[in-house]
Amino acid sequence: EKQPKTPQTWQGKTFVITAGPTREAIDPVRYISNHSSGKMGYALAEAAAHAGANVILVSGPTQLATPAGVQRIDVETAEQMLNAVQQQLQQCDVFIGCAAVSDYRIAEIASQKIKKEQNDEPPQLKLVQNPDILQQVASSEKPPFTVGFAAETENLKANALRKLERKQLKMIVANDVSQTGLGFNSDSNNAIIFSQDSEQSLPTMSKHDMAVAIIDAIAKRYFDNTT
């Protein structure tokens, strides 16, 4: 039985959504991060809540207000984001990894501010890889319907499909971030939504409208496959 795509489509279902950048400390006053504003993830949280879902937003540092009806958990690092997500997985029906998670962190965070005087040469920062939150969720014991994003500057389709496959995702939203003014830290976006057997192009639109379209695309597949 198919459910109608009414505003209350997601009544009784829980979404966990990651959003924003992560921040990886170098020393007590410095960090590695990226230009993610969090706007897309927050728009998704708002759209899912508007469609009746319980929404838990696991957010890196942003300047954004929490959307109405959304429960927000603030984190800084990728490891903190993973921990927060894992604690919410018990009752999670849909997971959307929208955060721009730092792929690497500093191997050993300096306990005091790094001083120029104490270094003859510029310091060499040693990096280690962060856990892949999306991949861990998708390969957990009882995985939710897992949706990822792919930010690419080249070979959009091939790279997105490889991520869909490698991370065992139900859907991936592929963004071409090579175009100036779109995607990262912008108000509008364009994207292609891929699943194993479908492809849906979304033209340039506001992140609000794109979020509604993505939540709708998830509903279509989620309810077609589970009922």
Instruction: Give catalytic residues, as residue numbers.
Output: 34
Q: Nearest approach, Cβ of 180 to ligand CTP (angstroms)?
A: 19
Residue from the set 44, 78, 164, 193 that interacts with ligand CTP by CB under 6 A: 78
The length of the chain is 227
Binding of ligand CTP by 94 (CB under 6 A): no
97 labeled binding residue: yes
Q: Nearest approach, Cβ of 115 to ligand CTP (angstroms)?
A: 31
Binding of ligand CTP by 101 (CB under 6 A): yes
Binding of ligand CTP by 19 (CB under 6 A): no
CA 137 to chain centre: 12
Closest CA to 171 of 215, 227, 226: 215
99 labeled binding residue: yes
DSSP letters for the chain: -PPP--TTTTTT-EEEEEESB--EEEETTEEE-----SHHHHHHHHHHHHTT-EEEEEE-S-SPPPPTTEEEEE--SHHHHHHHHHHH-TT-SEEEE-SB--SEEESS--SS---GGG-SSPPPPPEEEPP-HHHHHHTSSS--EEEEEEEESS-HHHHHHHHHHHTT-SEEEEEETTSTTSSTT-SEEEEEEEETTEEEEEEEEEHHHHHHHHHHHHHHHHHHHH-
103 labeled binding residue: yes
The stretch near ligand CTP (CB under 6 A) out of 52-60, 106-114, 126-134, 216-224 is 126-134
Binding of ligand CTP by 132 (CB under 6 A): yes
Residue from the set 74, 93, 103, 209 that interacts with Ca ion by CB under 5 A: 103
Which listed option, ligand CTP, Ca ion, none, makes contact with residue 46 (CB within 5 to 8 Å by class)? Answer: none
Which listed option, ligand CTP, Ca ion, none, makes contact with residue 213 (CB within 5 to 8 Å by class)? Answer: none
115 labeled binding residue: no
Secondary structure of residue 56 in the 3-state scheme: strand
**Nearest to ligand CTP of 163, 207 (CB atom):** 163
**Nearest to ligand CTP of 117, 154 (CB atom):** 154
Query: Largest Cα–Cα distance of the chain, in whole Å?
Result: 70
- CB 21: neighbour CB atoms within 10 A? 24
Binding of Ca ion by 152 (CB under 5 A): no
Q: Nearest approach, Cβ of 103 to Ca ion (angstroms)?
A: 4
131 labeled binding residue: yes
Residues placed in the known binding site for CTP: 97-99, 103, 113, 131-134, 149, 163, 167
Positions that interact with ligand CTP (CB under 6 A): 18, 78, 97-99, 101, 103, 130, 132-134, 148-151, 163
